[in-house]
Amino acid sequence: MKTIEITSLQNELVKYCNKLQNPKFRKQEKMILVDGIQTIEGFISDKIVFEYIFLKKDNVYLDKIQANNVVFVTDEILKKISTTKSPTDIIGIIKEPEIDKNIFKKLSKIALIDGVKDAGNLGTIIRSATAFSIDGIILFNDCVDLYNTKVIRSTAQNIFKLPIIKTNDKSFILELKKNHKLISTVVNSKKDMLDIDYNGNFIIAFGSEAFGISDEINQLSDEKITIAMDNDVESLNLAICASIAFAFIKHKNNFRK
């Protein structure tokens, strides 16, 4: 573990942290900026190794953190590199995990998120997928950056607990369909989610609130389902819809009694 002390706002590491808030630069560097006490606590509990951790010398988490570089900084620097409005005592940088997409061929329950732009929605979907034992998530088409700081906070410490990949490769979905049934959630199907058998391997797809499932996924779908609702409610928030579906799939036998 290497220790560094920084007092200048013009330090190159400070500038680097600020540049990581740009999605294009972050993806290029394959680094993830994380802040917020709860988020950092979760990563510490999961024994995540930080590439850099920024904190003051008297921080209570100093002896609990696994990091390659510990950077002692001032309050002014923490404020400068933070992505939150409220003051934070600790900020980290983590290397983006490398996930082989071929492992998805061995997973049974997969969620496909199609063109979702809202960071809070994506984070909540990941949190619910983890809670209800979905095996992995595919981000398809133009989704919000998985490692956006708001996405990470919204997952409530669950960002690394299941494999998540990003792909625009339709042929990969076709490859998965050799052993997985593709079920798409839409607003106007005559089939309710209660009508589908979720035994065996499947992919359940959710589209954006603005545009729904894309034409590519729509055309590949083996089944299309709708969550039946009362009182002429047209649709649910995407994250709520996905959470209901995940909970039902996990507890389907109890729900059917």
78 plus 155 within the same structural domain: no
121-157 pLDDT, tens digit per residue, is 999 999 999 999 999 999 999 999 999 999 999 998 8
113 plus 77 within the same structural domain: no
Tell me the C-alpha distance between 145 and 142, whole Å: 9
- Mean pLDDT of all residues in 224-242: 81
pTM of structure: 0.90
- Domain edge (last residue) among 67, 95, 123: 95
As for how many domains the chain has, the answer is 2
Confidence of residue 231 (pLDDT cuts 50, 70, 90): low
- Its domain, for residue 177, covers 101-256
22 plus 142 within the same structural domain: no
- Domain edge (last residue) among 95, 126, 144: 95
133 plus 84 within the same structural domain: no
pLDDT score of 257: 45
In the predicted model, is pLDDT for residue 113 greater than 60?
Answer: yes
State what percent of residues in the chain have pLDDT above 90. Answer: 72
Instruction: Judge whether 52 and 78 are in contact, CB under 8 Å.
Output: no
16 plus 37 within the same structural domain: yes
128 plus 244 within the same structural domain: yes
- Measured at the alpha carbon of residue 41, what is the angle toward residues 247 and 242, in degrees to the nearest 5? 20
pLDDT score of 129: 97
Confidence of residue 178 (pLDDT cuts 50, 70, 90): very high
| Residues in Cβ contact with 210 at an 8 Å cutoff, skipping those fewer than 6 apart | 117
Tell me the C-alpha distance between 52 and 68, whole Å: 6
- Domain edge (last residue) among 62, 95, 128: 95
pLDDT score of 196: 84
91 plus 145 within the same structural domain: no
51 plus 157 within the same structural domain: no
Q: State the chain's mean pLDDT as an integer.
A: 91
165 plus 216 within the same structural domain: yes
145 plus 243 within the same structural domain: yes
**Residue 36 belongs to a domain with what CATH number?**
3.30.1330.30
| Range name among 94-103, 148-157, 169-178 with the lowest pLDDT average | 148-157
